[in-house]
Amino acid sequence: MKRRVVITGIGFYSPIGDNLADLRSNFEQMKSGVRTMHEWEVANGLNARIAGVVGQDDFSEIPRQYRRTMDRVAMMCALSLKRAVAQSGLSPSEVSSPRTGISFGSAMGGLETLFEYAEDVSHNSGFGRQNATAFLRFMSHTVAANLAVMFGIIGRNIPTSSACTASAQAIGTGYESIKYGMSDVMLVGGGEGLHYVEAGIFDSMGATAIGYNDNPQEASRPFDISRSGLVVSEGSGALVLEEYEHAKARGAVILGEVIGYATGCDGSHITLPSERGMESVMRDALNDAQLNSSDIGYINAHATATPKGDISESIAVHRVFGNATPISSIKGYTGHMFGGGGAFESIVSLMALNESFLPANKNLVEIDPACAPLDYIRAHRETPITAVMNNNFAFGGINTSIILKKI
Protein backbone atom coordinates (compact mmCIF):
# COMPACT_ATOMS: atom_id res chain seq x y z
CA MET A 1 0.00 0.00 0.00
CA LYS A 2 1.39 3.41 -1.02
CA ARG A 3 1.45 5.93 1.83
CA ARG A 4 1.32 9.72 1.73
CA VAL A 5 4.52 11.65 2.48
CA VAL A 6 4.42 15.12 4.01
CA ILE A 7 6.97 17.76 5.04
CA THR A 8 6.93 18.82 8.69
CA GLY A 9 10.21 20.72 9.02
CA ILE A 10 12.78 22.65 7.00
CA GLY A 11 16.14 24.30 7.59
CA PHE A 12 18.73 25.84 5.27
CA TYR A 13 21.78 28.03 4.82
CA SER A 14 22.14 29.88 1.54
CA PRO A 15 24.00 32.89 0.10
CA ILE A 16 20.73 34.86 0.31
CA GLY A 17 19.61 33.93 3.80
CA ASP A 18 18.93 31.21 6.33
CA ASN A 19 15.25 31.90 7.00
CA LEU A 20 12.16 32.35 4.84
CA ALA A 21 11.68 36.04 5.67
CA ASP A 22 15.19 37.00 4.53
CA LEU A 23 14.90 34.68 1.56
CA ARG A 24 11.74 36.33 0.29
CA SER A 25 13.08 39.82 1.01
CA ASN A 26 16.23 39.16 -1.00
CA PHE A 27 14.21 37.69 -3.84
CA GLU A 28 11.93 40.74 -3.88
CA GLN A 29 14.90 43.10 -3.92
CA MET A 30 16.67 40.97 -6.56
CA LYS A 31 19.70 40.70 -4.29
CA SER A 32 22.46 38.24 -5.09
CA GLY A 33 24.64 36.36 -2.63
CA VAL A 34 27.49 36.11 -5.15
CA ARG A 35 30.63 38.09 -4.31
CA THR A 36 34.18 38.59 -5.51
CA MET A 37 36.56 36.16 -3.81
CA HIS A 38 39.66 38.28 -3.22
CA GLU A 39 41.08 35.45 -1.11
CA TRP A 40 41.29 33.34 -4.26
CA GLU A 41 43.98 35.56 -5.78
CA VAL A 42 46.49 32.97 -4.56
CA ALA A 43 45.25 30.65 -7.34
CA ASN A 44 47.14 31.35 -10.56
CA GLY A 45 45.21 30.98 -13.81
CA LEU A 46 41.78 31.08 -12.17
CA ASN A 47 39.47 33.12 -14.39
CA ALA A 48 36.27 33.15 -12.32
CA ARG A 49 37.08 34.54 -8.86
CA ILE A 50 33.48 34.78 -7.70
CA ALA A 51 31.22 32.55 -5.60
CA GLY A 52 27.96 32.37 -3.68
CA VAL A 53 28.93 32.55 -0.01
CA VAL A 54 26.99 31.67 3.14
CA GLY A 55 27.45 34.19 5.93
CA GLN A 56 27.74 31.61 8.68
CA ASP A 57 30.99 30.91 10.48
CA ASP A 58 29.86 30.15 14.02
CA PHE A 59 29.21 26.46 14.48
CA SER A 60 29.76 26.37 18.23
CA GLU A 61 26.23 25.16 18.93
CA ILE A 62 27.31 21.80 17.49
CA PRO A 63 28.91 19.89 20.39
CA ARG A 64 32.65 19.50 19.88
CA GLN A 65 32.45 15.70 20.04
CA TYR A 66 30.55 15.82 16.73
CA ARG A 67 32.16 18.91 15.24
CA ARG A 68 35.67 17.44 15.36
CA THR A 69 34.86 15.02 12.51
CA MET A 70 32.91 17.56 10.43
CA ASP A 71 34.02 19.70 7.51
CA ARG A 72 32.12 22.95 6.88
CA VAL A 73 29.60 21.18 4.63
CA ALA A 74 28.62 18.74 7.37
CA MET A 75 28.34 21.55 9.92
CA MET A 76 26.04 23.59 7.67
CA CYS A 77 23.89 20.51 7.12
CA ALA A 78 23.88 19.70 10.83
CA LEU A 79 22.56 23.15 11.75
CA SER A 80 20.03 23.00 8.90
CA LEU A 81 18.76 19.64 10.13
CA LYS A 82 18.68 20.83 13.73
CA ARG A 83 16.34 23.63 12.68
CA ALA A 84 14.20 21.29 10.59
CA VAL A 85 13.81 18.79 13.43
CA ALA A 86 12.97 21.56 15.89
CA GLN A 87 10.26 22.88 13.56
CA SER A 88 8.85 19.39 13.08
CA GLY A 89 8.37 18.91 16.81
CA LEU A 90 9.79 15.39 16.75
CA SER A 91 11.01 14.23 20.15
CA PRO A 92 14.51 12.78 20.63
CA SER A 93 13.01 9.31 20.99
CA GLU A 94 11.07 9.73 17.74
CA VAL A 95 14.23 10.86 15.93
CA SER A 96 16.24 7.97 17.35
CA SER A 97 13.72 5.30 16.37
CA PRO A 98 14.19 2.27 14.09
CA ARG A 99 11.42 3.78 11.95
CA THR A 100 13.34 7.04 11.40
CA GLY A 101 16.07 7.16 8.78
CA ILE A 102 18.35 9.64 7.10
CA SER A 103 19.46 10.38 3.54
CA PHE A 104 21.91 13.24 2.91
CA GLY A 105 24.36 13.95 0.12
CA SER A 106 26.91 16.28 -1.41
CA ALA A 107 28.84 16.40 -4.65
CA MET A 108 32.35 16.38 -3.24
CA GLY A 109 32.11 15.63 0.49
CA GLY A 110 34.37 17.71 2.72
CA LEU A 111 36.29 19.36 -0.10
CA GLU A 112 37.97 21.99 2.07
CA THR A 113 39.56 19.35 4.29
CA LEU A 114 40.34 17.15 1.29
CA PHE A 115 42.28 19.82 -0.59
CA GLU A 116 44.12 20.99 2.51
CA TYR A 117 45.00 17.37 3.33
CA ALA A 118 46.27 16.65 -0.18
CA GLU A 119 48.29 19.87 -0.27
CA ASP A 120 49.87 19.15 3.10
CA VAL A 121 50.77 15.57 2.17
CA SER A 122 52.30 16.76 -1.10
CA HIS A 123 54.21 19.60 0.54
CA ASN A 124 55.60 17.44 3.32
CA SER A 125 56.03 14.29 1.20
CA GLY A 126 54.33 12.15 3.80
CA PHE A 127 51.64 11.60 6.38
CA GLY A 128 53.43 12.25 9.65
CA ARG A 129 51.55 15.48 10.39
CA GLN A 130 48.07 14.39 9.35
CA ASN A 131 45.14 14.44 11.75
CA ALA A 132 43.50 11.04 12.28
CA THR A 133 40.02 12.54 11.81
CA ALA A 134 40.75 14.10 8.40
CA PHE A 135 39.22 11.26 6.39
CA LEU A 136 36.03 11.43 8.45
CA ARG A 137 35.73 15.09 7.45
CA PHE A 138 36.28 14.63 3.71
CA MET A 139 34.90 11.17 2.86
CA SER A 140 32.14 11.23 0.25
CA HIS A 141 29.42 10.31 2.77
CA THR A 142 30.72 12.57 5.54
CA VAL A 143 27.42 14.46 5.82
CA ALA A 144 25.15 11.42 6.19
CA ALA A 145 27.60 9.65 8.51
CA ASN A 146 28.20 12.58 10.84
CA LEU A 147 24.56 13.62 11.02
CA ALA A 148 23.49 10.06 11.76
CA VAL A 149 25.80 10.01 14.79
CA MET A 150 24.86 13.50 15.97
CA PHE A 151 21.10 12.82 15.79
CA GLY A 152 21.27 9.20 16.98
CA ILE A 153 19.81 7.67 13.84
CA ILE A 154 19.29 3.90 14.13
CA GLY A 155 17.01 3.45 11.11
CA ARG A 156 18.03 3.60 7.46
CA ASN A 157 21.06 5.64 6.42
CA ILE A 158 21.27 6.15 2.65
CA PRO A 159 23.99 8.61 1.58
CA THR A 160 23.77 10.13 -1.90
CA SER A 161 26.67 11.42 -3.96
CA SER A 162 25.48 12.34 -7.44
CA ALA A 163 26.85 15.86 -7.94
CA CYS A 164 24.04 18.32 -8.74
CA THR A 165 21.28 15.80 -7.94
CA ALA A 166 22.70 14.60 -4.60
CA SER A 167 20.18 16.23 -2.28
CA ALA A 168 17.32 15.82 -4.76
CA GLN A 169 17.98 12.08 -4.78
CA ALA A 170 18.15 12.19 -0.98
CA ILE A 171 14.64 13.68 -0.91
CA GLY A 172 13.46 11.08 -3.41
CA THR A 173 15.02 8.27 -1.41
CA GLY A 174 13.31 9.47 1.75
CA TYR A 175 10.01 9.84 -0.08
CA GLU A 176 10.14 6.31 -1.46
CA SER A 177 11.28 4.88 1.87
CA ILE A 178 8.17 6.27 3.58
CA LYS A 179 5.80 5.73 0.67
CA TYR A 180 6.57 2.02 0.48
CA GLY A 181 6.61 1.40 4.23
CA MET A 182 10.30 1.10 5.14
CA SER A 183 10.25 4.21 7.37
CA ASP A 184 7.79 6.54 9.05
CA VAL A 185 10.17 9.52 9.18
CA MET A 186 13.14 10.42 6.97
CA LEU A 187 15.56 13.28 7.57
CA VAL A 188 16.77 14.34 4.14
CA GLY A 189 18.83 16.96 2.35
CA GLY A 190 22.37 17.86 1.43
CA GLY A 191 24.93 20.58 1.03
CA GLU A 192 28.16 21.78 -0.52
CA GLY A 193 31.23 23.54 0.78
CA LEU A 194 33.44 26.00 -1.07
CA HIS A 195 37.08 26.01 -2.20
CA TYR A 196 38.89 27.68 -5.09
CA VAL A 197 39.88 24.26 -6.46
CA GLU A 198 36.18 23.59 -7.10
CA ALA A 199 35.98 26.83 -9.09
CA GLY A 200 39.15 25.88 -10.93
CA ILE A 201 37.75 22.48 -11.89
CA PHE A 202 34.79 24.02 -13.69
CA ASP A 203 36.91 26.91 -14.93
CA SER A 204 39.18 24.45 -16.75
CA MET A 205 36.10 22.85 -18.33
CA GLY A 206 35.00 26.23 -19.70
CA ALA A 207 31.83 26.03 -17.60
CA THR A 208 32.16 29.06 -15.30
CA ALA A 209 30.93 32.61 -15.78
CA ILE A 210 33.91 34.75 -16.74
CA GLY A 211 34.28 38.50 -17.05
CA TYR A 212 32.31 39.29 -13.88
CA ASN A 213 35.00 39.40 -11.19
CA ASP A 214 34.27 43.10 -10.66
CA ASN A 215 30.51 42.72 -11.09
CA PRO A 216 29.65 39.42 -9.37
CA GLN A 217 25.92 40.03 -8.87
CA GLU A 218 25.32 39.90 -12.62
CA ALA A 219 27.43 36.80 -13.29
CA SER A 220 24.82 34.04 -13.03
CA ARG A 221 22.36 34.55 -15.91
CA PRO A 222 20.09 31.53 -16.50
CA PHE A 223 18.40 31.57 -19.93
CA ASP A 224 19.94 34.94 -20.83
CA ILE A 225 21.61 35.31 -24.22
CA SER A 226 24.77 36.70 -22.59
CA ARG A 227 25.23 33.89 -20.05
CA SER A 228 28.71 32.40 -20.02
CA GLY A 229 28.57 29.71 -17.37
CA LEU A 230 27.82 28.78 -13.79
CA VAL A 231 28.91 30.36 -10.51
CA VAL A 232 30.09 27.98 -7.78
CA SER A 233 28.31 28.30 -4.45
CA GLU A 234 28.05 26.80 -1.00
CA GLY A 235 24.91 26.06 0.99
CA SER A 236 22.73 23.43 2.60
CA GLY A 237 19.14 22.34 2.99
CA ALA A 238 17.28 19.87 5.19
CA LEU A 239 13.71 18.60 5.27
CA VAL A 240 11.82 16.33 7.64
CA LEU A 241 9.64 13.94 5.66
CA GLU A 242 6.94 12.05 7.49
CA GLU A 243 4.14 9.62 6.79
CA TYR A 244 0.89 11.58 6.75
CA GLU A 245 -1.02 9.65 9.42
CA HIS A 246 2.07 9.59 11.66
CA ALA A 247 2.35 13.39 11.41
CA LYS A 248 -1.37 13.86 11.93
CA ALA A 249 -1.48 11.62 14.98
CA ARG A 250 1.10 13.71 16.82
CA GLY A 251 -0.46 17.03 15.79
CA ALA A 252 2.42 18.17 13.57
CA VAL A 253 2.08 21.25 11.38
CA ILE A 254 2.22 20.03 7.77
CA LEU A 255 4.07 22.36 5.39
CA GLY A 256 3.37 20.47 2.18
CA GLU A 257 3.24 17.05 0.57
CA VAL A 258 5.67 15.23 -1.71
CA ILE A 259 3.42 13.60 -4.28
CA GLY A 260 5.79 12.76 -7.13
CA TYR A 261 9.40 11.82 -7.69
CA ALA A 262 11.42 10.30 -10.49
CA THR A 263 15.08 9.77 -11.22
CA GLY A 264 16.55 8.47 -14.46
CA CYS A 265 19.69 8.28 -16.52
CA ASP A 266 20.50 9.51 -20.02
CA GLY A 267 23.04 6.76 -20.66
CA SER A 268 24.54 8.78 -23.49
CA HIS A 269 27.22 11.32 -22.51
CA ILE A 270 29.17 12.08 -19.34
CA THR A 271 28.64 15.86 -19.45
CA LEU A 272 26.28 16.87 -22.30
CA PRO A 273 22.61 17.09 -21.25
CA SER A 274 19.99 14.97 -22.95
CA GLU A 275 16.65 16.51 -23.82
CA ARG A 276 15.15 13.03 -24.01
CA GLY A 277 16.39 12.15 -20.52
CA MET A 278 15.09 15.38 -18.98
CA GLU A 279 11.73 15.00 -20.68
CA SER A 280 11.44 11.40 -19.53
CA VAL A 281 12.10 12.14 -15.85
CA MET A 282 9.53 14.96 -15.80
CA ARG A 283 6.90 12.71 -17.37
CA ASP A 284 7.74 9.94 -14.88
CA ALA A 285 7.34 12.33 -11.94
CA LEU A 286 3.98 13.51 -13.26
CA ASN A 287 2.91 9.89 -13.64
CA ASP A 288 4.01 9.09 -10.08
CA ALA A 289 2.01 12.09 -8.83
CA GLN A 290 -0.93 11.13 -11.05
CA LEU A 291 -1.06 14.67 -12.39
CA ASN A 292 -1.28 16.24 -15.81
CA SER A 293 1.27 18.84 -16.88
CA SER A 294 -1.46 21.49 -16.63
CA ASP A 295 -1.74 20.80 -12.88
CA ILE A 296 1.74 22.21 -12.23
CA GLY A 297 1.62 25.91 -11.33
CA TYR A 298 5.36 26.61 -11.27
CA ILE A 299 8.60 24.95 -12.38
CA ASN A 300 11.79 25.57 -10.43
CA ALA A 301 14.34 24.97 -13.16
CA HIS A 302 17.81 23.48 -12.75
CA ALA A 303 19.22 26.00 -15.28
CA THR A 304 22.78 26.76 -14.17
CA ALA A 305 23.48 29.35 -16.91
CA THR A 306 25.69 27.10 -19.01
CA PRO A 307 25.22 27.73 -22.75
CA LYS A 308 24.13 24.21 -23.73
CA GLY A 309 22.43 23.14 -20.50
CA ASP A 310 19.83 25.91 -20.40
CA ILE A 311 18.85 25.34 -24.03
CA SER A 312 18.41 21.58 -23.64
CA GLU A 313 16.44 21.97 -20.44
CA SER A 314 14.11 24.57 -21.96
CA ILE A 315 13.40 22.31 -24.95
CA ALA A 316 12.65 19.35 -22.68
CA VAL A 317 10.31 21.46 -20.53
CA HIS A 318 8.52 22.73 -23.65
CA ARG A 319 7.92 19.17 -24.86
CA VAL A 320 6.18 18.32 -21.58
CA PHE A 321 4.48 21.61 -20.63
CA GLY A 322 4.25 23.72 -23.76
CA ASN A 323 4.63 27.42 -22.97
CA ALA A 324 1.91 27.88 -20.34
CA THR A 325 3.72 27.03 -17.08
CA PRO A 326 5.73 29.75 -15.26
CA ILE A 327 9.39 28.84 -14.88
CA SER A 328 12.44 30.34 -13.20
CA SER A 329 15.88 29.37 -11.96
CA ILE A 330 17.01 30.87 -8.66
CA LYS A 331 20.71 30.36 -9.45
CA GLY A 332 20.89 33.98 -10.58
CA TYR A 333 20.63 34.85 -6.88
CA THR A 334 22.69 32.11 -5.27
CA GLY A 335 24.99 30.56 -7.83
CA HIS A 336 25.05 26.77 -8.09
CA MET A 337 25.08 24.87 -4.77
CA PHE A 338 25.75 21.55 -6.50
CA GLY A 339 24.92 18.87 -3.90
CA GLY A 340 22.87 21.28 -1.80
CA GLY A 341 20.84 22.68 -4.68
CA GLY A 342 18.07 20.09 -4.83
CA ALA A 343 17.18 20.47 -1.15
CA PHE A 344 17.42 24.25 -1.06
CA GLU A 345 15.47 24.65 -4.30
CA SER A 346 12.77 22.29 -2.99
CA ILE A 347 12.45 24.58 0.04
CA VAL A 348 12.11 27.56 -2.32
CA SER A 349 9.45 25.59 -4.22
CA LEU A 350 7.65 24.96 -0.94
CA MET A 351 7.78 28.70 -0.24
CA ALA A 352 6.23 29.33 -3.67
CA LEU A 353 3.37 27.01 -2.72
CA ASN A 354 2.70 28.38 0.74
CA GLU A 355 3.25 32.07 0.06
CA SER A 356 1.92 32.20 -3.53
CA PHE A 357 5.21 33.82 -4.49
CA LEU A 358 6.98 32.88 -7.73
CA PRO A 359 10.53 34.32 -7.84
CA ALA A 360 11.70 35.94 -11.05
CA ASN A 361 14.74 34.92 -13.07
CA LYS A 362 17.50 37.28 -11.97
CA ASN A 363 19.74 38.77 -14.68
CA LEU A 364 17.38 37.64 -17.44
CA VAL A 365 17.65 40.70 -19.67
CA GLU A 366 17.26 39.09 -23.10
CA ILE A 367 16.06 35.51 -23.49
CA ASP A 368 18.33 33.40 -25.65
CA PRO A 369 16.34 32.77 -28.86
CA ALA A 370 17.82 29.26 -28.92
CA CYS A 371 15.87 28.49 -25.74
CA ALA A 372 12.34 27.16 -26.19
CA PRO A 373 9.46 29.66 -25.88
CA LEU A 374 8.49 29.24 -22.22
CA ASP A 375 6.77 31.48 -19.67
CA TYR A 376 10.03 32.76 -18.16
CA ILE A 377 9.20 34.80 -15.05
CA ARG A 378 10.63 38.29 -15.61
CA ALA A 379 9.06 39.97 -12.56
CA HIS A 380 8.00 38.31 -9.30
CA ARG A 381 4.45 37.00 -9.32
CA GLU A 382 2.04 36.56 -6.45
CA THR A 383 0.04 33.68 -7.83
CA PRO A 384 -1.80 30.96 -5.87
CA ILE A 385 -0.65 27.52 -7.01
CA THR A 386 -1.37 24.00 -5.76
CA ALA A 387 1.54 22.00 -7.20
CA VAL A 388 5.15 22.75 -8.14
CA MET A 389 7.93 20.81 -9.88
CA ASN A 390 11.59 21.08 -8.93
CA ASN A 391 14.13 19.73 -11.44
CA ASN A 392 17.81 18.91 -11.03
CA PHE A 393 20.25 17.37 -13.50
CA ALA A 394 23.82 16.15 -13.03
CA PHE A 395 26.93 14.95 -14.87
CA GLY A 396 26.63 11.35 -15.92
CA GLY A 397 23.13 12.02 -17.25
CA ILE A 398 21.50 11.71 -13.82
CA ASN A 399 18.12 13.44 -13.77
CA THR A 400 15.62 14.10 -10.98
CA SER A 401 12.19 15.65 -10.76
CA ILE A 402 10.26 16.29 -7.54
CA ILE A 403 6.61 17.39 -7.29
CA LEU A 404 5.29 19.11 -4.18
CA LYS A 405 1.65 19.83 -3.40
CA LYS A 406 -0.03 22.28 -1.07
CA ILE A 407 -2.20 20.85 1.70
265 is catalytic: no
336 is catalytic: yes
- pLDDT exceeds 80 at position 279: yes
Domains by residue range for the chain, with CATH: 5-405 (3.40.47.10)
* Active-site option among 77, 195, 246, 302: 302
- Mean per-residue pLDDT of the chain: 96
Q: What b/e readout covers 60-83, taking b as 16+ CB neighbours within 10 angstroms?
A: eebeeebbebbbbbbbbbbbbbbb
User: Cα-Cα-Cα-Cα dihedral of 60, 114, 143, 394, to 10°?
Assistant: 130
Nearest to 275 by CA among 243, 246, 302: 302
43-56 mean pLDDT: 95
* Active-site option among 164, 246, 318, 371: 164
Per-residue pLDDT band for 222 (boundaries 50, 70, 90) equals very high
pLDDT tens-digit map of 79-136: 999 999 999 999 999 999 999 999 999 999 998 898 888 887 777 767 766 678 999 9
DSSP string, 214-226: T-GGGS--TTBTT
Whole-angstrom distance, CA of residue 159 vs CA of residue 143:
8
* Active-site option among 195, 246, 318, 336: 336
123 is catalytic: no
178-206 mean pLDDT: 96
